[in-house]
Each structure stands twice: as structure tokens, then as C-alpha cells.
Amino acid sequence: MCVIARLLSSRVDRSRFRESAISGLYQLYQAPPWEAKLEHNTSESVCPALESESPSARPRGSRHRWRRPVAEPGRSPATLHDVAREAGVSLATASRSLNGSTRKVNEEYRARVVAAAERLGYTPNLSAQAIAKGSTSTVALVVSDIADPYFSSIAAGVIRSAESAGLIVTMAMTERSAERELELVKTLRGQRPRVLILSGSRYVGAELEGALVKELTAFEETGGRVVIISQRELPFDTVQTDNHAGAKALAEALVAEGYRSFAALTGASSLMTSRDRLSGFREGLAAHGIDLTDDRVMQTDFTRDGGYAAAGQLIERGIDDLDVVFAVNDVMAIGAMSGFRDAGIDVPGRLAIAGFDDILTARDVTPALTTVRLPLEHVGQAAIELALGERGGSRAVVTVDGAVVLRASTPRR
């Protein structure tokens, strides 16, 4: 009847009717019919069409309304519907008062709604808000491995920037699996986040990339924003690090320090981050006439344990003619450092080692690790800035450069 009254009211425009319809859905979602009691009410009408702009201008009359008692232990939580009835206002007015609507609410109404919410112990139903608004106030962050300091540093930047914008971050981990990444994106879409950020290396020749693009495109078409922290391989806003140039600069710096014989520890060839860093390192050496042959490249897991295992394999092949080992990330380099040390090899006296990323641990290990510094927290912050900024006509790309940091693990030869 309330909706019919709104249609008949000459003061109701389309936008207000649409909001009333959304609120109706919100009401159906939130208001269970149990634990209510019938009371006699002499306060204002609960119908939005009969609600005046000023409380004093509204006709007062006797009518019945349902009221839920103040929340007690064992009772179901109060809903927005309960708050509206307790305050004697429409559901739309209660929603606008509590959920940050851009439409102005009469201050007396708003105060009554806030007081009613406090009395009933009401907390917003985020799932219901997602239905009404089309999204939640959350950022979904998908990373390869949260235990890796590289991703935890990026996550710290995302979280700080999101919180300053009034958003909450939820995280999920792919474990560097393209299949799991796709399944996570499908699941997260159903939770209606405002922003979806994918952080992690893209994959060479990934068979599932088309399906992933389809899911992410559908998410954006319903009002969401997608940001990729990785290589610019997907058609979405991207924050990328210049892995190739950073590794090239590191190789040239090591040559300048007197190193001439190199080996490298790399991840799976399908990981673009690993491929780009190895390619850049080789290019930097080639500029000085030094060849990094395939037999000096050890492929292993992109982890600390992978670096430790690769050190053992390199020792088995022989390291007599080696000066320095480059690992394509810091956690692998630190693992390799431990592996060499456990085998009785002096690092850096006998064999120097370098990494990439400059995670916090890199400066605390002994010897302190030479690496390429990436401002990882800034990368996370840049992703949020892209996601919350104005959408341009073309996809935005932010490139973050690295800087070589020479430390004790590569003393001058």
C-alpha cells in the first residue's frame, strides 16, 4: 500500500520511487517476521509517501505498527526495518540516515533514527547493503603468497590507503596457481567488493587468461573497479614494476664492482616476473661481453626453500669458477645464502650473492643483501589511487622503477 501511495503522490519523482523500490528489497532481505509484537502507535506514518519534509507538518494520527523490543541475549539482531519502526520513519529515511546517502535527511528524523539504532543495538547488514547499493565498502586483494614479504609489503600499502578512504580490505591467496586465481575471482565477484586487486606475476601462455578477463570484465560492467599489480598483460588498469630495467642495472653494477663469472637462480619459466628479471640481467651482462649460459641458470621454486635447494644443485654442478649468484627475488637469495653457508662455503668471501625486491629482511641478514629496491608499499598505495580515481578513456598504467642497492653480500672484487 505504501508503494501505491507513493505512485499517487504528486510530490514523488522517479528517483525517489526508485529509492523506495530498492528499500523495499532491502526490507524483504532484512526483516524476519518473528519476535515482533503489536503496539498502538501515535507517532508519524511509516509510509514514505505520507512523510512530510518537516516533522511538524506531518498529520498525526493513530495507527498500529510493529515494534521489536530492545535486543536481549538470545534474540535475533535488530534490522534496519526495526530501527525505522522504532524511530517512526520510513525505511528509506532510516537507510539514508545511517548508510551515508547523498540525499539530505531532516535533522530531527536523523537524530531519531540514530537514537533508535543505539537503543536496539543495530549494526548495518553489509550483505543487504551490497544488494541495495550494488557493492560493498570492501577491497578484495588477491596475492600469490601472503607469507612472502614482497606481497605482505604491497598488502600493507593497499590496507593503509584503503582505510584512509573508509574501505576495508579482504585478502585471498592463489599460491601461484592460475586455476585457483580464476576460482577466487569468481567467488569474490559474488561478494560484491567495490574494488578487486590482483597482485602477482602473470603467466606465459596462460590457458585460463581468457576466462579470467571475462570474469573481471563482467565485474567492471556491474560497477566494480579492477587493478592489476603485475605486468601489463591484461586489459585493466595496471601498476607495474620495471623488472627488466632493474635487473639490467644490477648486472651492470656488479660488473662495475669487478665480478665476471655469474650464475642465476630463477623461478618457473611460466612466471613473467622471473622471465623478465632473468632477461634483464642477461642483457646487462651482455652489454659488457659476458654470457650467462643456460647451464648456470637454476630453475626452482619462487620461495626461500627453492633458493636453498637450488644452492645445493649449483654446488653439485661445481662453483669453482663462479664469483657471484643472482637470485630473481630476495627470499630465494636468502635461502641460497643459507644453503651455501650450510655447505661450508663462505658468503661473501668465496661467493657473493644478490637478490631483487629489497624486502625488509634483506638489510637484516648477515651479510646484508645486495638487491634492487622496489617501493612495495607505494605500489599498493598506487593501486588504490588508480581504483578510486576517475576512469579515463583508456586503461591507466603506472610504472614503478627500481634502484640498485649494493650491500655487504657483494663486496668489491
Domain end call among 108, 131, 154: 131
- Residue 178 sits in the same domain as residue 324: no
Nine-digit cell string for 34: 518473528
Domain end call among 131, 166, 196: 131
- Residue 267 sits in the same domain as residue 360: yes
Residue 411 domain-assigned (yes or no): no
- Residue 101 sits in the same domain as residue 184: no
Residue 408 domain-assigned (yes or no): no
For the entire predicted model, the pTM comes to: 0.69
Residue 35 domain-assigned (yes or no): yes
Residue 143 domain-assigned (yes or no): yes
Domain end call among 110, 131, 152: 131
Q: For the chain, how many structural domains are there in total?
A: 3
Residue 228 domain-assigned (yes or no): yes
If we measure between CA atoms, which residue out of 357, 359, 375, 382 comes closest to residue 158? 382
CATH for 91: 1.10.260.40
Tell me the pLDDT tens digit for each residue of 98-150: 876 556 788 898 899 999 988 888 876 555 555 455 456 899 999 999 889 99
Give me the domain span that covers residue 41. Answer: 2-131
CA 301 to chain centre: 24
If we measure between CA atoms, which residue out of 305, 343, 344 comes closest to residue 327? 305
Residue entry with cell 661481453 = 289
Beta strands 237-241 and 138-143, pairing class = unpaired
Residue 405 domain-assigned (yes or no): no
Rounded CA-CA distance 89/384 in Å is 37
Residue 308 domain-assigned (yes or no): yes
- Residue 227 sits in the same domain as residue 264: no
- Residue 184 sits in the same domain as residue 222: yes
Strand partners, 404: 372
- Residue 253 sits in the same domain as residue 370: yes
- Residue 249 sits in the same domain as residue 236: no
Tell me the pLDDT tens digit for each residue of 60-103: 444 444 444 554 555 677 888 899 999 999 988 888 888 765 56
Tell me the pLDDT tens digit for each residue of 322-380: 999 999 999 999 999 999 999 999 999 999 999 999 999 999 999 999 999 999 999 99
Burial of 320 (0-12, 13-18, 19+ CB in 10 A): exposed
- Residue 271 sits in the same domain as residue 200: no
- Residue 67 sits in the same domain as residue 179: no
Residue 407 domain-assigned (yes or no): no
CATH for 155: 3.40.50.2300
- Cβ distance 241 to 400 under 8 Å? yes
